[in-house]
Amino acid sequence: MLSIHIDTATTWRGGQNQVLLTVLGLRAAGERTLLVAHPDGELRRRAAEGLEFVPLAPGHELDLKAGWKLSRLLNRLQPPVVHAHDPHAVAMAALGLSMATIARPPALVASRRVDFRLKKNSFSRWKYRQVDAFICASEAIAHLLAQDGLEAARIFTVHEGIDVERVAHAKPVSVHAELWLPANAPLVVNIGALVEHKGQRHLIDAAALIVREVPDARFVILGEGPLRTALEQQVRHLRLEKHVFLPGFRADVLGWLKGADVFVMPSEMEGLGTSILDAMAAGIPVVGSATGGIPEVIEDGATGLLVPPGDARALAGSIVRLLRESALRERMGQAGWARVRERFTVERMVEGTRRVYQHVAGRGHRDEG
């Protein structure tokens, strides 16, 4: 079955990694895939070899020219499924389908990886009415879509997955040497875009409490985003310059992750959290906020610890506990490793996606009314 995949981002985040894993996984399973993505995006660079690729992305959400170009592609290939992986991709796909002249229109599938509510403006309502199936990265997201009034028959949960073998074979980075840290300093790592809902400011607040009890602890926040300046100011205000580091975006992020003693995801909102999965696959114990899909990944007390979102004191307490109890870190690291391999592999994600395709293929995109 041919599926056309659309992603409009220029940056590289967890969503783009999931797109690439999906496309490659479907190809490995014998399916034909074609990727439509931003001509200057990081996804194009990483997918450059061995994939059918069309460089196309909208300049804005209501880009009729991009929709028309997509419609020509759809008319030529007549795929059974079009899979839009972000909101702008849904818009471009809906426009393209409305302009296409195909006797049997493809089904439109939309990935939903964030636990944000759907926008209520008239164009958003129209574009989402065209979607035949929403693939949700967690049950939490599926619940939100149901609350927004979408029919249960259009909502499917397929947990995101990771390439556990890639994690296993990633070359560790000597983080202590890279950042000139004391050789035996305990290392707490966070990975995520530097945006409001990722909650890094709560981790920095927690760090100020943690160093009172674990003076050698160091904290590394990997990622880029609009909050960098504000977070750096917070670090200086709390006099944590020798303890908290923001090295930016790193292509070898898995290697940096492998240097951690504890991984932390302090998000206020989170669809699922694939960085948590990477940490668990590396055998690293995790502390995460009890929000969104995170509790579907972290089994509190078994594979990690959950804390209330936005509670820096609770976050600090859980991190200190793991830093002080090596046996607990070992036990939770092993349990997390087993849980990822059982429930969150890319193979399981791809198979779940294929089942959704088979369910909706041939249904055609929905009426505008």
Domain spans of the chain, in order of start: 2-161+347-360, 165-344
CA atoms of 84 and 97, how far apart (whole Å): 12
pLDDT attached to residue 362: 66
DSSP label of 105: P
Question: The domain 2-161+347-360: what is its CATH number?
Answer: 3.40.50.2000
CA atoms of 199 and 180, how far apart (whole Å): 26
The share of the chain scoring above pLDDT 90, in percent, equals 87
pLDDT attached to residue 369: 40
Provide the mean pLDDT of the chain. Answer: 94
CA atoms of 203 and 151, how far apart (whole Å): 38
Nearest 5°: the CA angle 340, 345, 347 is 160
pLDDT in tens, 13-56: 888 999 999 999 999 999 999 999 999 988 888 876 667 899 99
Task: Count Cβ atoms below 10 Å from residue 178 Cβ, excluding itself.
Answer: 15
Q: Where are the alpha helices (DSSP H) in 170-252?
A: 175-178, 200-213, 228-237
pLDDT in tens, 294-327: 999 999 999 999 999 999 999 999 999 999 999 9
* C-alpha R_g of the chain: 21
Min mean pLDDT across 70-84, 160-174, 256-270, 355-369 is at 355-369
* Strands lying side by side in the sheet with 187-191: 244-248, 218-222, 187-191, 262-265, 286-289, 304-307
Q: Which amino acid is at 185?
A: A
Cα diameter, the chain: 68
Summarize the confidence of residues 340-356 as an average pLDDT: 96
256 near 175, Cβ under 8 Å?
A: yes
Question: What top-level class would CATH report for the domain 165-344?
Answer: alpha beta
User: Residue 342: CB partners within 8 Å, gap ≥ 6?
Assistant: none
**Nearest C-alpha neighbor of 88 from the set 176, 190, 10, 180:** 10
pLDDT attached to residue 50: 66
Phi, psi of 218, rounded to the nearest 5 degrees: -125, 150
CA atoms of 135 and 142, how far apart (whole Å): 8
Which run of H or E residues covers position 357? helix 346-360
Task: Count Cβ atoms below 10 Å from residue 25 Cβ, excluding itself.
Answer: 22
289 near 295, Cβ under 8 Å?
A: no
Claim: this prediction has a pTM higher than 0.85: yes
pLDDT attached to residue 368: 42
